[in-house]
Amino acid sequence: MDMPEFAKIKTWPTCELNCAVFVWFHCDDIDPSWSIPEQEEIQSGEWVYRGRTEHFVNCHIQEIPENAADIAHLSHLHAPSMLSGSDLRSTRASHWGFAQHDWKVEWNTESEPNKHCSRMLVNHAFYIFGRRFPLLDVHVVCRQFERDVMIWNNKKYISKPLLVKEDSAIARHRRWYTQFYSQNSPRFTAQLDSLDW
């Protein structure tokens, strides 16, 4: 059947995996060139849905994944106790000093066929008066994430930042992330004037 042009709608390649629906977008209309690997822990039921948190974030799209490679920010932003909240103007107040988070993080890329994937390994411990409380380990995620949101909403993306030796993972992340751009990718400056993303 001939379909009139005005009745046609755009379709998008999609896939349903890991209990989520993924939509492929490519600025050159190219079909998917890689697929998302199954997450074993989700398939086996080891990781289950526990709820969600929703935020409006006004930043460059690269900032959020790059956070995983920014190892140095953890001891500054995420070390103060979750009890001190997510407003960064007060999280480092001295009366919260009795409780601290300790983070050990590694960020690495994966190889073919999953070179579009990277992995952040997090080891976290929560200390009160210097003593570790393992049962509290799982309750910190949501509030700690809100601290990142406050940074992202006030952060300026710089394409060639000044990096020191401790920021080597950020440099690796920047090189790895170039695979997600093509020559026609919308530029950040264009997005500042438009909501068309």
Which residue has its beta carbon closest to Fe ion? 148
Q: Which is nearest to 188 in space by CA: 151, 158, 164? A: 158
Matching residue, tokens 């209309």: 29
Q: Which of 170, 172, 153, 169 is nearest to 161 (CA)?
A: 170
- Look at the block and give the residue holding tokens 């700690």: 144
Q: CB-wise, 55 or 115, nearer to Fe ion?
A: 55
Q: Which is nearer to Fe ion, 26 or 143 (CB)?
A: 143
Nearer to Fe ion, 99 or 148 (CB): 148
Kindly state the smallest distance separating residue 76's Cβ from Fe ion, in Å. Answer: 10
Binding segment for Fe ion (CB under 5 A), chosen from 1-9, 10-18, 50-58, 145-153, is: 145-153
SS3 82: helix
Nearer to Fe ion, 38 or 166 (CB): 166
Segment near Fe ion (CB under 5 A); pick from 7-15, 16-24, 67-75, 103-111: 67-75
Site pattern 27..66 for Fe ion (x: CB under 5 A): ----------------------------------------
Please, what is the minimum distance in Å from the beta carbon of residue 67 to Fe ion?
A: 5
Report the distance separating Cα 71 and Cα 76, nearest Å: 10
Place of tokens 């490519």: 26
The residue among 48, 140, 41, 131 whose CA lies nearest residue 85 is 140
**Cα separation, 134 vs 120, whole angstroms:** 21
Q: How many residues does the chain have?
A: 197
DSSP 159: S
Nearer to Fe ion, 26 or 73 (CB): 73
Q: For Fe ion, which residue of 124, 126, 148, 176 counts as binding (CB under 5 A)?
A: 148
| Distance in Å, CB of 77 to Fe ion, minimum | 6
How many CB atoms within 10 Å of residue 148?
20
84 touches Fe ion by CB under 5 A:
no
Interacting residues toward Fe ion by CB under 5 A: 67, 148
